[in-house]
Each structure stands twice: as C-alpha cells, then as structure tokens.
Chain A
Amino acid sequence: MTSAAPSELPYDPTAPLTPSGNLRRRLIVSRITQGMAVAAAFIAVAALAIVVFDVVKSGASVLSIDFLIKDPSQYGVGGGIRSTIIGSAIIVGLGAVIAVPIGVLIAIYMTEFARPGSRIAGLLRMGLDLLQGVPSIVIGIFILGLITEPRHQDTGFAGSVALAIIMLPLVARSAQEVLRLVPSPLREASDALGVDRWRSIITVVLPTGLGGIVTGSILAVARAAGETAPLLVNDSTAAPHLTFNPFGPMPNVPVQILTASEALNPAGFATAWGAALVLLVLILIANVGARFLLARSRRKLTG
C-alpha cells in the first residue's frame, strides 16, 4: 500500500502550526467574547465595590460609641441606633425561633421519611418554592390582614411572623441539602443496630448535619435582617424608645433607614447612613462567614 500523498488533504499538514484558514478570525472572535465576559465580571465586582464604598464613606463619619448606645432622636436628626438594633435583633431572633424548627422538621421529612418520588415530598417542595416566590411586600400585606389589622396595632411580633415566612423556605432548603450529605452508612449502621428511626435522627443524623443547618440558618437570618417591606407594613413606628416587648410597636433598623431616607431634612440622612453601614457590615460578615463555614462542613461530609 502506498502512503496517501499529503496533497490529498485540503491543506498542507506539514505547514507550521500557526493559525490557518479562517482560524485567525475565529480566534479574534473568541478573544473578544472572552474579553466581554471578563468585563462583565468586572462590572459586577465594581458595582459591589462602589455601593459598599459609598455606604462606608457616608456612614463612617457618624459612627461612634455614642451612636451605638443612644436611641434615635425623635426629631430625625442626630441620635443613635440602640433601640433599633436591639429591636431588630429581637424581631429577627423571634422569627428565627419560629422558622428554624419548622424548616428543619420539613427537611427531616424530605430526607429521612419520604420515599423517593413521594407525592407529599413533591408537593412540599413546590409549596416551599411558591412560598419563596411570594414578594415580601405581599407577605407584609398578608400579615397586615391576619394579625396587625385585627389588633389595630403595629407589633414587632407581626414582623417576626412575616420574617419567619420569608426565612422558612431558605432554612428548609439548606437543611435539606446538608442532611442529604450525611452519609448513608451512618444511618444504615444505626438501623442495623436496631435503633429506632427517630432516635437515629436525633442522635446521629442531626448532630452530623448540625453545623450546616446552623450556618444555613445564619444565611436566612442575614436575609431577613435586611427585609424592610414586612416591617414597614406591620411595625413602622415613629416612637424610637427602647423596648423589649415584641407585642407592641418595636423600633427596627430597616424602617429607621427608610424613614430617615424619606425625610425632607437632609441632615437626617447621616443617621440613616450610619444605620445602613452597621446593618450592611453585619449582613456581609454573616454572609461571608456562613458561606465559608457551609463550604467547610460540606467538604467535611463529602470529602
């Protein structure tokens, strides 16, 4: 058999390995699109940097120990964030106390009790998805009709319930992800020893997944801490006094920021920026920390 002459091919294979034919143009196109992708990522990071920078620049001048230990002024200018930070903490904390157990129980059902392809699990998943898709202002309106209107009073508690509804799908989903990562052999060993399902769950599965569940809850809490709409509808109060009673009006940071930003007096903006800075820093730290811990616990379970 004779060797096929190189001239049978539509190009010369012995030519140097530099772009031939239309490759030069195609490489340029590829380079341009790559450049656009890099530019897009740069725009996103730049947007984050600009917003954070502007908030820091505007709020840093207001920050002081005074700012943290004084209540907001009744006149919209000056004052601090003591009562609003504490109020927010209580409202969000109460919401977490409601949402986390329910969310974890639902996650336990989905991963431990439901058979694969179970109809109930499918419906639950859809229900949680739908819940997550309800705009937060609508959730605020819902609570308005359910709790606040009948009581004719703005309460921190109503805000907590609204935040709990917002947190629930997030907690349930992240708990489900974590529980799914708990290795099957752990459960099987427990079963083989004749231990009841519920006991295995409490003593083996939950502790193993606890880290992930906690960090998932922190992410949900960070999300809820920034929610304004439900609080605006159900707990917007002008009275800035410190209170520990959630069953009455309770000052909170998001409404403080919004009200100050709507004020006609620009001097009131300073307080708003200070509060915004504190809120932003807390939320970003919680996010970064929780994601880092979540990735680590995920690695521990799968690696």
Chain B
Amino acid sequence: MLGPAAAPKSRLMKMLADRRATERSRGDQIMRALCLAAGLVAALVLFEIAYQVISGAQPAIAKFGLGFLVHTAWAPNFDRFGAAVMLYGTGVTSLIAMIIAVPLSIAIALYLAMLAPKSVRTIIGPLVEMLAAIPSVILGFWGLIFLAPFVHAHIEPFLYNTLGFLGIFGPPQTTGLSLFTAGLILTVMVVPIIASLSRDLFLTVPNDLKEGAEALGATQWEVIRGVVLPSTISGVAAATTLGLGRALGESIAVLSVVGTGATIQKSWFNTGNTLAARIAQDIQYPVNHLQVHAIFYLALILLVLGVATNLFARTIARRYDVSRTI
C-alpha cells in the first residue's frame, strides 16, 4: 500500500512498512480477525444454503431420482411430482427474454456510450437503470392488469397471423397470461442489467483505438462494428450471462403472468410454469410434506442453474481484456 513514494522518503517508508509487517499491534490483529470473521460468515451462508436446500430435497430425490426432471405431472394429492413442465417453462421464458433483451440492450448501450450527447446521456442512463429498480411484485402486477390484456388483444393475433406457421405462435388463448407474456416481463427486468454493464464496457474502449479507426475514413457504424464490439465481446457475453441468471431466478413477476399451467404446449401463448414461479406458488399452502420436499428439489435445480450461470459469467469475464500490450 505504499504508492508512488518519493525517492528520499523511500527508505523511511520501507522501514515503516517492515515494521508494520512484523510488529502488527494487538488492535490490528483484532480488526483483521473481525474482518475475516465477517468473510467467514458470508462463506458459511453459501455452504449452509447448499446444505439446507440439498437436505430439504433429499426425500424427494430419494423418491423420484433423476426421473423428476422428465416427469410432467405435478399432483400433490397423488404424490406425483415432476419438474418437466417447469423446466420447459423456465427455458422458454428465458429464451424469449434473451432473444429480445440482448440486441435491445446492446443497442441501448451503444446509444448511451457513443451516440448520445453528454447531457442526454446523464439523464437516459439513470432512467434505464431505474427499470431495474422496479420491484418484481409491482412489475408482475402491472403485467397481470395491463400487459397481459394488451398482448392478448394485439400482439398474439398479429404474431399468429404472420408467424403462426412456426408453431410457437399458436392461436390466442383466453387470457394473455402465458409463457410469452412472462418472457416479456423478464425482458423488462433483464434489459437494464445487460444495457448498463455493456455501456460501461463500451466506455472503456480506448479512445485512440476509435480515433485510429475514424482516421481511416470509417463511418460511425464501422467504428462500432470493427473496433468497439469486437474488443468488448467477451464482456458483453458475461453481462448477457448475468442477465440470464436473473431471468432464470425470477419468481414473483413470472408467477403473476405465466398463468400457472400444468402441461407442456408447443404454442408460447399457452399458460405454463417455471421453476421459480412454481416454488413461490406452492410454498404458500403445501398439502403434504412430500410436496415441500419436491419444492426443495425444484429449488435445488434452480440453485444449480443460478450458480452455474454465475460461474460461467465469471470465466468469460476473466478472459476479457481490452488492455493492449504496449
């Protein structure tokens, strides 16, 4: 922690540093231990989470094994539980959110980092971050009352008429509560995460790289495509993965708009369910103990997914390096 010490002072500084290193006072040792204890608490919580979820799921794992992942029936009264419907729903809703959110967020980030004048940037940037501050319960409620009817009345018919051949856009159902609407709500939650992280990344691209591209007679888009995007690609990928983690784990907002369907359907306009939403839905009034264990099993799958995406994001981010060698 010496910092750039001036030459005449350096010997004194070194002496003091040595003294600090060897003769650490009692007070220092206590504080250090206190801080480490705090860190230990955090580590303990992590392990305890794993322990509780695993042990809570244990009876369900014992009863259903890995078949749990492919069984579609979820009937508490008949002791039949399977996660397939939820896995499908989690996959579909997250996919929808990613497909819309990633290009949208990158475009927003490019606007904020490179195109917007400074005065506009300082207003729009925080506004985009505000989107992330909306509590999920409010967003879910809004989705239920406002978005779902709108999707049902306008978006579903349009998509069915134009892209209905794809199979994923079936005829509109009775309400707008569906995997598709849930995906849209997740998009709203995920965009601010990816956009603000990507904006920060785009701002770190060294100015002289951009100038070098401009001096070669390149248009603004060519500078972005040739220099800015390639040099930030792994950071943006990490940001996307973090957004995906958010989408996978969202329970309340999805619960409000997904319609809590119990079957796997091809059309995304049908109701469905996700891992997180099912947990939130069932945990309020469980019928028997096995159901609670099955819920813990779902939580275990979700925990594994959450940790995996997080670790994946970290490995991508570590490879990311915009700094140059000279």
Interface residues of A (CB under 8 A from B): 23, 26-27, 29-30, 33-34, 36-41, 43-45, 47-48, 51, 54-55, 58, 101-103, 105-106, 108-109, 113, 120, 123-124, 126-142, 144-146, 165, 168, 172, 184-185, 187-188, 191-192, 194, 196-199, 201, 222-223, 225-229, 232-233, 236, 254, 257-258, 261, 269, 272-273, 276, 279-280, 283-284, 287-288, 291
Listed A/B pairs (22) with beta-carbon separation below 8 Å: A33-B221, A37-B111, A40-B107, A44-B191, A47-B131, A103-B38, A105-B39, A106-B35, A120-B36, A127-B46, A129-B310, A130-B310, A134-B249, A135-B248, A137-B251, A144-B56, A145-B53, A188-B5, A233-B280, A261-B256, A276-B137, A283-B133
A236 near B284: Cβ-Cβ < 8 Å: yes
Q: Which residues of chain A have C-beta atoms less than 8 A from B134's C-beta?
A: 48, 51, 226, 280, 283
B280 near A47: Cβ-Cβ < 8 Å: no
Question: Known contacts being A196-B25, A272-B141, A280-B135, is A106 close to B306, with CB within 8 Å?
Answer: no
Chain B: CB-nearest residue to A259:
B284
Q: Is B70 interfacial (CB-CB < 8 Å)?
A: no
Q: Which residues of chain A have C-beta atoms less than 8 A from B116's C-beta?
A: 41
Q: Which residues of chain A have C-beta atoms less than 8 A from B5's C-beta?
A: 188
A40 near B108: Cβ-Cβ < 8 Å: yes
Interface centre among A30, A141, A225, A258, by most chain B C-beta atoms within 10 angstroms, is: A141
- Taking CB atoms and an 8 Å cut-off, the chain B residues in 275-299 that contact chain A are 276, 279-280, 283-284, 295-296, 299
Q: A74 to chain B: closest CB distance in Å?
A: 18
A257 near B133: Cβ-Cβ < 8 Å: no
B130 near A284: Cβ-Cβ < 8 Å: yes
Question: Known contacts being A37-B108, A228-B135, A228-B252, is A261 close to B144, with CB within 8 Å?
Answer: yes
Q: A234 to chain B: closest CB distance in Å?
A: 9
Q: Is B173 interfacial (CB-CB < 8 Å)?
A: no
Q: Which residues of chain B have C-beta atoms less than 8 A from A185's C-beta?
A: 3
Q: Which residues of chain B have C-beta atoms less than 8 A from A269's C-beta?
A: 145
Q: B242 to chain A: closest CB distance in Å?
A: 8
Q: Which residues of chain A have C-beta atoms less than 8 A from B302's C-beta?
A: 135, 137-138
Among the listed stretches B120-128, B159-167, B175-183, B205-213, which one makes contact with chain A, having 4 or more residues with CB under 8 Å of it?
B120-128
Q: A27 to chain B: closest CB distance in Å?
A: 6
Q: Which residues of chain A have C-beta atoms less than 8 A from B142's C-beta?
A: 51, 54-55
Chain B: CB-nearest residue to A103:
B38
Q: Which residues of chain A have C-beta atoms less than 8 A from B38's C-beta?
A: 101-103, 105-106, 109
Chain A: CB-nearest residue to B32:
A113
B131 near A48: Cβ-Cβ < 8 Å: yes
In the bound assembly, the distance between CA atoms of A139 and B280 in angstroms comes to 12
A127 near B53: Cβ-Cβ < 8 Å: no
A133 near B306: Cβ-Cβ < 8 Å: yes
B42 near A258: Cβ-Cβ < 8 Å: no
Q: Which residues of chain A have C-beta atoms less than 8 A from B53's C-beta?
A: 138, 141-142, 145
B130 near A287: Cβ-Cβ < 8 Å: yes
Contacting residue for B104 out of A43, A108, A144, CB 8 A: A43
Q: Which residues of chain A have C-beta atoms less than 8 A from B138's C-beta?
A: 51, 55, 226, 257, 276, 279-280
Q: A84 to chain B: closest CB distance in Å?
A: 12
Q: Is B174 interfacial (CB-CB < 8 Å)?
A: no
Beyond A30-B222, A254-B252, A261-B256, list 4 extra A-B contacts (CB 8 Å): A33-B224, A44-B195, A113-B31, A279-B138
Chain A: CB-nearest residue to B279:
A137
A133 near B127: Cβ-Cβ < 8 Å: no
Q: Which are the 10 A-B pairs with shortest beta-carbon distances?
A: A135-B249, A226-B135, A133-B310, A40-B107, A109-B35, A105-B38, A30-B221, A30-B219, A198-B31, A145-B52
Q: Is B66 interfacial (CB-CB < 8 Å)?
A: no
A142 near B49: Cβ-Cβ < 8 Å: yes
Contacting residue for B284 out of A44, A101, A232, CB 8 A: A232
Q: Is B204 interfacial (CB-CB < 8 Å)?
A: no
Q: Is B112 interfacial (CB-CB < 8 Å)?
A: yes
B124 near A168: Cβ-Cβ < 8 Å: no
Q: A209 to chain B: closest CB distance in Å?
A: 15
B27 near A45: Cβ-Cβ < 8 Å: no
Question: Known contacts being A26-B222, A33-B224, A261-B140, is A145 close to B306, with CB within 8 Å?
Answer: no
Contacting residue for B27 out of A34, A196, A272, CB 8 A: A196
Question: Known contacts being A142-B52, A185-B3, is A106 close to B39, with CB within 8 Å?
Answer: yes
B251 near A29: Cβ-Cβ < 8 Å: no
In the bound assembly, the distance between CA atoms of A185 and B138 in angstroms comes to 47
Q: Which residues of chain A have C-beta atoms less than 8 A from B36's C-beta?
A: 109, 120
- Taking CB atoms and an 8 Å cut-off, the chain B residues in 20-74 that contact chain A are 20, 24-25, 27-28, 30-32, 34-39, 41-43, 45-46, 48-49, 52-53, 55-56
